[in-house]
Amino acid sequence: MIAVLLVGGEGTRLRPLTYHFPKQILPVAGLPMIERVLKQFAAYPADNRLSNPDDVVGGREIPQNTDVTFQECVLSLGYKPERFVQTYPDGLIDGLRVSYAVEPEPLGTGGAVRFAAEHVGVTETFVVMNGDVLADISVYDLVRVHFYNRRHGALATIGLVEVDDPSRYGVVDMDASGQVRQFVEKPSPDEAPSNLINGGIYVLEPQVLDLIPVNQMVSIEREVFPELVAAGSLYATRMEGYWLDTGTPQSYIQANMDYLERYMKLSDPPVAGANQIAEGVWAVGHPIVRGSVLPPSLVMNGSLIEYGAVVSHSVIGENCIIGSGCRVDRSVVMGGVRMMQDSALEDSVLAAMVEVGEGAQIVQGSVVGEGYVVTSGSVLSDVRLPINDQ
Ligand code: GTP
């Protein structure tokens, strides 16, 4: 089976981090996001063998022995495609073969699906996933539900997840058979028909491609799905398991925190070659830790945590200097950052090579872009710097 991963968006909500890199190249607990996303597919076909023994998914009997093996994953690229090619020049990401479909201009989520599917000559059922969704759900079960739905005329099955606040997402209303009745994009609280949202993972039949105009900007959520709803051929099923859309600074920080916490419970390190230097504190290579690093945290090679500095629940990239008396909490610090003494970082992100002056405080979801210099003593709360710098 072929998987299309949509990774061509500009990631405007994550600016300035995305001025120089596509969202999926940004690190999540030390690994480019795309490697975390692709784990979802690399897990197969091993999971085939672990399939639901009673063969019932979402209350429905599902065909057994469905072959769901992802031999190939197509990365649907548009924004800064060279970053992917430079990072993975041999077309292998964590052992999975990937190919690159580079759009000449942005085609939106629908146009991109058609472009990528045609690029690899899709002729059978295929899977599409938003490349900024970190999930731990069974794509295998989703495919099996789709094969069941297909007998009832489904051309597409959307994986749904339940969230507390559906207003940022596409909300789905379906009947007992799973047929979608209504698809409401970003509803106000009183308009939301349920808390089940489009999780950005779809199983599609190749006929869906015919509904997408060629080489045009088309949104799969806003244009293609409503057409399928009208034809009665869009189905959905609820998926269980971890799910996070990493599109905003807050959710990007959350993704890093979630993965640090997850690895506290596992025997594997969050990145290959990391060793635990204390319980829940991983180090890659040989950082120098003179101050304190509290779990769960990850400190990369060549970094120095000075006397009196306290790092907790955070990721420190390569070759950083965290000066004496500094505090870093629930934050992501990329490579080459220098924090001068007594500066503080909380719930925030520093891109590579940022310099933070003495005593500066950066808090509450602030994002500081590559190479920016934060002057001594300044207080940044819920801000992004620089702005309009592309
Ligand atoms: P924002 O600009 O912050 O909304 O982020 P985004 O550009 O990533 O858009 P959005 O989160 O809506 O996109 C969902 C997924 O589709 C992401 O993985 C994007 O990379 C991808 N995507 C969005 N637009 C395009 C496009 O025009 N082409 C391709 N290939 N992928 C896209």
CA of 10 to the centre of ligand 1 (A): 6
pLDDT, residue 196, reads 92
Atom 30 of ligand 1, residue of closest alpha carbon: 8
CA of 77 to the centre of ligand 1 (A): 10
d(C-alpha 64, C-alpha 380), whole Å: 56
Three-state SS at 98: strand
Q: Which residue's entry shows tokens 């990007």?
A: 252
Determine if ligand 1 sits within 6 Å of the CB of residue 170: no
CA of 109 to the centre of ligand 1 (A): 7
| Single-letter code of the amino acid located at 50 | L
- Please report the domains of the chain, with CATH numbers, ordered by start residue: 2-245 (3.90.550.10), 249-385 (2.160.10.10)
Tokens (6 digits) for 177 = 């058979």
| DSSP symbols for 263-287 | HHSSSS-SSTTEEEEETTEEEES--
| Single-letter code of the amino acid located at 353 | M
Q: Are 200 and 157 in contact (CB under 8 A)?
A: no
pLDDT tens sequence for the chain (390 residues):
889 999 999 999 999 999 999 999 999 999 999 999 988 776 544 343 334 434 444 555 555 555 667 777 899 999 999 999 999 988 888 777 889 999 999 999 999 999 999 999 999 999 999 999 998 888 888 888 999 899 899 999 999 999 988 888 888 999 999 999 988 878 887 888 889 999 999 999 999 999 999 988 999 998 999 999 999 999 999 998 899 999 999 999 999 999 998 888 777 888 988 999 999 999 999 999 999 999 999 999 999 999 999 999 999 999 999 999 999 999 999 999 999 999 999 999 999 999 999 999 999 999 999 999 999 999 999 999 997 554
Say which residues have a Cβ less than 8 Å from residue 80's Cβ, sequence separation at least 6: 20, 21, 22
Tokens (6 digits) for 26 = 């940004």
Q: Which of 31, 33, 30, 11 is nearest to 367 (CA)?
A: 11
CA of 269 to the centre of ligand 1 (A): 30
Q: Are 232 and 350 in contact (CB under 8 A)?
A: no
From the CB of residue 49, how many other CB atoms can be counted at a distance below 10 Å?
7
Angle at 173 between CA 170 and CA 176, to 5 degrees: 145
d(C-alpha 376, C-alpha 89), whole Å: 41
Tokens (6 digits) for 373 = 């210099």
Atom 27 of ligand 1, residue of closest alpha carbon: 108
Atom 29 of ligand 1, residue of closest alpha carbon: 8
Determine if ligand 1 sits within 6 Å of the CB of residue 108: yes
Compute the residue count for the chain.
Answer: 390
* Beta bridge partners of residue 274, listed in sequence order: 284
d(C-alpha 91, C-alpha 323), whole Å: 39
Ligand 1 pocket test, candidate residues 6, 33, 367, most atoms within 8 A of CB: 6
H/E stretch holding 33: helix 33-42
Would you tell me the crossing angle of helices 33-42 and 249-264 to the nearest 10 degrees? 60
370: DSSP letter: T
CA of 62 to the centre of ligand 1 (A): 32
CA of 7 to the centre of ligand 1 (A): 6
Q: Are 282 and 274 in contact (CB under 8 A)?
A: yes
H/E stretch holding 46: helix 46-49
Determine if ligand 1 sits within 6 Å of the CB of residue 119: no
